[in-house]
Amino acid sequence: MIIGRTSEVKYLNAYYDREGSQTIVIYGQKGIGKTAVINEFIKDKPYYYYRARSCSEREQLYQWSKELRKQGKKVQKYPAFTDVFEAVTETGRFKKVIVIDDFHYIVKNSRSFMKELVAFVHSQWNSGQLMVILCSSSIGWVENSMVGKIGEAAYELSGFLKIKELSFQEMSDYFSGFRLEECVEAYAILGGVPGMWQYFDDKLSIRENICRNILSPRCFLHKHGERIVAEELRETGVYNTILAAIAEGSHKLNDLYLHTEFSRAKISVYLKNLMELELVEKVFSYDAEGKENVQKGVYRISNHYVDFYFTYFYPHISALNSLSVTEYYTRYIAPTFKSYVADYFRMVCTQKLEQWNKRNRLPFLYEQSGEWVGKTGTIDIVAQDDNANTLIGLCNWEKPMMTYEDYEWLLFSTGKAKLKPNHIYLFSIGRFDEKLNLEAKVKANIKLIGVDEF
């Protein structure tokens, strides 16, 4: 099932409908839905699909030709890439699509692949019968190394399409059996990666899903946190150390230095690599006048499942092997899970606000947004337009009721940031106290947003 990828399929069809031949690079993390997008795009078109192996150029060509010969194509045992392209291209009324998945495996071990591909695509230009899709799950390589590796061939690429995570709204549509609170908890664990959603069952509670589909050693997700880190990185011992430290609360470079005793220069290099792979993010506080009150250089784990793994698995691996899944959940996950999900609820609220902004359902159309991370307080959401109209937001997940004191703390943080809000949006998974309800009735610029409005 393909969800929320209308614009991506439309993008590919726009290129397909153009005159001449095209070469498109599609990339995104594993499980993000690249294959689903491609399958939706090619379902009514003539196409050929090949998935590359991690091997030498000679072995690649051998395996490719072996597949082709089984399909009845006449190719040599060790052909050139041009021979392969000719074998998979057939003349016809419609443009043909050639999909080469995991193409980075070929490029990393071959100097001739891209040159021969470009030459071949050019040879098809007059007939306009070819569209090549190069697909990769190696985000860091595509964004930082690919152009240097393929050289002038990069000028011949027609376009790039990055497949990004789906939103909370799209996830909640998928898990129709979950209550809103359960959808938020699932989002905190799995993120917007549809390939991982299949491992959760919305007929079970989140607790049951964690016990059955994560903690159980036989399940795919049990070691998936390790796999995500190990797939693209070599020195996993160093990366695991840094990720575990961040998950435990060492969010600044100096904190990481004191915990790991790695040099600051080394930590910075490894953090850069983690950020390129979108496993870690550097948090930049919203640019407000109160710069002296801002925390700087804060790092967070940005991949939802990696964050969950290093928060709840990595520190307790010994216990995981000695306790039952129910005992493990009760002892190590349940006590802090609500607090853990709170950060992701802020993300859900931010996405909801963005959705309203696109639909012109806010007092003004904001141009930029973010969070303000202060030394003594934070503002979950800050949004402004070009005329300095300002909206701030507070998100309550942990407490059964948002209180007037929470609102006052938000105003205190706003003062530290030196912001002058025109509108205040208060999001709460629980109720609002009587004083806060009264304040919202008296002041038109305060909006209380409960579960029903999600």
Task: Give the pLDDT confidence of 15-48 residue by residue, as tens digits.
Answer: 999 988 999 999 999 999 999 999 999 999 999 9
* Confidence band of 196 (pLDDT split at 50, 70, 90): very high
Helix, strand and coil content of the chain, in percent to the nearest 5, comes to 50, 15, 30
Look at residue 409 in the predicted model and tell me its pLDDT.
Answer: 96
**Residues with Cβ within 8 Å of residue 402, at least 6 apart in sequence:** 394, 396, 426, 428, 430, 431, 432, 433, 436
Look at residue 91 in the predicted model and tell me its pLDDT.
Answer: 64
Does residue 203 surpass a pLDDT of 90? yes
Which residue has 């010994």 as its token pair? 318
What number is the average pLDDT over the span 415-441? Answer: 96
Look at residue 128 in the predicted model and tell me its pLDDT.
Answer: 66
| Torsion angles phi and psi, residue 299, rounded to 5 | -115, 145
Look at residue 20 in the predicted model and tell me its pLDDT.
Answer: 87
Does residue 10 surpass a pLDDT of 60? yes
Look at residue 92 in the predicted model and tell me its pLDDT.
Answer: 66
The two beta strands, 423-428 and 390-396, are parallel
Do 105 and 54 form a contact (C-beta atoms < 8 A)?
yes
Q: Could you report the per-residue pLDDT of 302-313, keeping only the tens digit for each?
A: 999 999 999 999
Q: How far is CA 3 from each of CA 6, 88, 254, rounded to the nearest angstrom?
A: 8, 31, 42
Q: Could you report the per-residue pLDDT of 108-153, keeping only the tens digit for each?
A: 999 999 999 999 998 876 566 899 999 999 999 999 999 999 999 9
Does residue 4 surpass a pLDDT of 70? yes
Look at residue 307 in the predicted model and tell me its pLDDT.
Answer: 98
**What mean pLDDT, rounded, does the chain reach?**
94
Look at residue 373 in the predicted model and tell me its pLDDT.
Answer: 93
Look at residue 93 in the predicted model and tell me its pLDDT.
Answer: 73
Does residue 154 surpass a pLDDT of 60? yes
Determine the Cα–Cα distance for residues 247 and 188; give it in Å rounded to an integer: 14
Q: Could you report the per-residue pLDDT of 37-93, keeping only the tens digit for each?
A: 999 999 999 999 999 999 999 999 999 999 999 999 999 999 999 999 999 987 667
Look at residue 122 in the predicted model and tell me its pLDDT.
Answer: 85
Look at residue 450 in the predicted model and tell me its pLDDT.
Answer: 93
The pTM for the full model equals 0.92
Q: How many CB atoms lie within 10 A of CB 27?
A: 23
Does residue 219 surpass a pLDDT of 80? yes
Tokens of 359: 């639909």
Which residue has 């801002």 as its token pair? 294
What number is the average pLDDT over the span 296-301? Answer: 93
